Amino acid sequence: MRLGLHALHVELGAKMVPFAGHEMPVQYPAGVMKEHLHVRDSAGLFDVSHMGQVILRPKASMQALCLAFEALMPVDVLGLVPGRQRYGLLTNDTGGILDDLMFANRGDHFFVVVNAARKAHDVAHLQSHLAAVAEVQPVTGRALLALQGPGAEAALARHLPGVAAMRFMDQAVIGDVWVSRSGYTGEDGFEISLPMAGAEDLARRLLAEPGVMPIGLGARDSLRLEAGLCLYGHDIDETTSPVEAGLTWAIQKARRTGGARAGGFPGASRILAELADCPERLRVGLRPDGRAPMREGTELFAPDDTPVGSITSGGFGPSVGAPIAMGYVAAAFAATGTPLEGTVRGKHLPVTVCDLPFQPTTYKR
């Protein structure tokens, strides 16, 4: 499937590749390294229209919808005030993650953004479980753009008045444009949903701004890895619990043991037990020695050759100037500074457990 802005990407010299059922720009002529560093230094425009956009509109009351939505994930939905957005996790009965998503309270309904590869699954899941309390409406005919980096606010404010006053995870409706101050790069920035008919015009106007350049999937991946952010299907999946994944910050007090609305979500017994007692494995940051990256699937061992886990995301961190990786290791080996070894081309090479993120975040709070 082609994006609505496909012709613009081709005009800009993008290399197009298949991704989650779409033809996506993986990089532009500047290349992944320059695109990555440009986002850190200035601002980059991403086309993320492959993501799923969904409206949840209550049939009776927002409170009933909030409670029903809460029953699908270990997140405080009822406490999310209008105009704010939150990170959520749909879980299954065994405590695994069906998908991670963003949801915004728009006063009389919710706006939800889900992962591209899980779009059909998530819509069916929401319709199956929320039909009694909500209309689950997949959004069509709209593009989704992300403007990220320290120059994003100044660039967007010249075209959408009012965005400069927004803080991290604020969400606003400006005419027919839906804006959130969020993104998946670790940098300050915005995600912008707008009718496809006006998407190319806004994209061109933003790209004409000083310091804004187009950015592809390659740099999006290296940016999120430096920020220590999970990629669904790689770092998290239906077997991974939020606690193993280090996503406990997304489980608010109200949903934990002793909270006002503790439990009641799929997999609660496992997730609450792991919150009380450390799980058997944990997601950690990893710093390989030398210059050779350790990629997804690299097996990890203790110095005595005991298998302890594997890498789920890995590559070169342009801002860090060195190879970086994330993966899961047995809890006994998850402490920062723990020396491990990774198998690269049949050889065991040194790698050290480190803190996440690799690059400090710059969200405007």
Please state at what angle helix 119-130 crosses helix 62-70, rounded to 10 degrees: 120
Task: Determine the pLDDT at residue 233.
Answer: 96
Find out whether 2 and 19 touch, Cβ atoms under 8 Å: no
Q: Is the peptide bond before 74 cis (omega within 30 degrees of 0)?
A: no
**For the chain, what is the mean pLDDT?**
97
Task: Determine the pLDDT at residue 194.
Answer: 98
User: In the chain, what percentage of residues exceed pLDDT 90?
Assistant: 98
Query: Tens digits of per-residue pLDDT, 214-227?
Result: 999 999 999 999 99
Task: Determine the pLDDT at residue 59.
Answer: 97
Confidence of residue 201 (pLDDT cuts 50, 70, 90): very high
Average pLDDT, integer, range 343-358: 95
Find out whether 193 and 53 touch, Cβ atoms under 8 Å: yes
Average pLDDT, integer, range 347-358: 97
Q: How far is CA 240 from the centre of its chain?
A: 16
Enter the pTM of the model: 0.96
Task: Determine the pLDDT at residue 92.
Answer: 98
Query: Tens digits of per-residue pLDDT, 69-95?
Result: 999 999 999 999 999 999 999 999 999
Find out whether 138 and 189 touch, Cβ atoms under 8 Å: no
Task: Determine the pLDDT at residue 64.
Answer: 98
User: In the chain, what percentage of residues exceed pLDDT 70?
Assistant: 100
Please state, in angstroms and rounded to a whole number, the distance separating the CA atoms of residues 284 and 246: 8
Angle at 115 between CA 37 and CA 138, to 5 degrees: 130
Please state at what angle helix 32-41 crosses helix 217-226, rounded to 10 degrees: 60
Average pLDDT, integer, range 110-119: 97
To which residue do tokens 């390989």 refer?
288
296 burial via Cβ count (<10 Å: 0-12, 13-18, 19+):
middle
Average pLDDT, integer, range 166-193: 98
Average pLDDT, integer, range 112-141: 98
To which residue do tokens 């690299």 refer?
298
Query: Tens digits of per-residue pLDDT, 6-19?
Result: 999 999 999 999 99
Average pLDDT, integer, range 192-212: 98
